[in-house]
Amino acid sequence: MISISDYDVYIFDCDGVILDSNKLKTEAFEYALTLEDKSDVERLIQYHKDNGGISRYEKFDHFYTKICPSLQKDLKVKQALKSFAEKVSEEMLRVDLIPGILDFINKISLLNKKIFVNSGSDENELNDVFKARNLASYFEKILGSPRSKIQNLERISHFNKIDERAIFFGDSISDHIAAREFGMEFVFISGYSEWKHPDPSIKYQFQNFNEILEVLS
């Protein structure tokens, strides 16, 4: 059972936790690499799914360094990033919210908890999306790439001390690693995740926030 009173700082990933956008991001990688060999793209998609939460910058760099090495790596990464952004910019305004997320955030907001977003999505893009969807006002800060999730937790620690009274809601291995690095509680939101083999030691696992609301104390 999760007790709201046990925590002062609430941190949320975005894709698969706030927005049902994991599938969109996978499609955007395929779209951005349309001209590349299909088998190479499939390897990148598997890498993407196995490393959820790592930024698109790192994934495209990995593609053109390890999977499909190119002497024009910097140019190709730049072009891929542009195509990726074109694909997601409009669609992120339309994807569904994860069930129960707004009710849950409203509930903790009433108790004056500090609430942050820590995402692998592009930070500027994500702030624009949250403003357009009238979500930005719920959060102290909306943080994303190109900084890593651990770097963003360091940024959050400048605003509020992160210790055992912080909790991180995520759906990827990078979320779990970042939470563990800072010694905070981790909640795995599994219903929309592409992380197929989560750590069995994770204490809290829920399909969505409606399930969490049912067991809150």
* CB-neighbour burial class of residue 106 (10 A; exposed 0-12, middle 13-18, buried 19+): exposed
Question: Quick one: CA dihedral 30, 64, 173, 97, positive or negative?
Answer: negative
* 1 band by pLDDT with thresholds 50, 70 and 90: confident
The helix (run of H) or strand (run of E) holding residue 167 is strand 166-170
Nearest to 150 by CA among 192, 183, 127, 124: 183
Return mean pLDDT, the chain: 93
pLDDT over 90 percentage in the chain = 79
* C-alpha to C-alpha distances, 211 to 22, 50, 197, nearest whole angstrom: 20, 26, 21
* 49 band by pLDDT with thresholds 50, 70 and 90: confident
Q: Please indicate whether residue 106 or residue 194 has the higher confidence score (pLDDT).
A: 106
Report pLDDT for 160.
67
Supply the DSSP symbol for 95.
S
pTM above 0.85, yes or no: yes
Provide CB contacts within 8 A for 1, sequence distance 6+: 215, 216, 217
* 4 band by pLDDT with thresholds 50, 70 and 90: confident
* 194 band by pLDDT with thresholds 50, 70 and 90: confident
Whether residue 37 is predicted with pLDDT greater than 80 in this model: the reply is yes
Question: Quick one: CA dihedral 125, 130, 131, 133, positive or negative?
Answer: positive
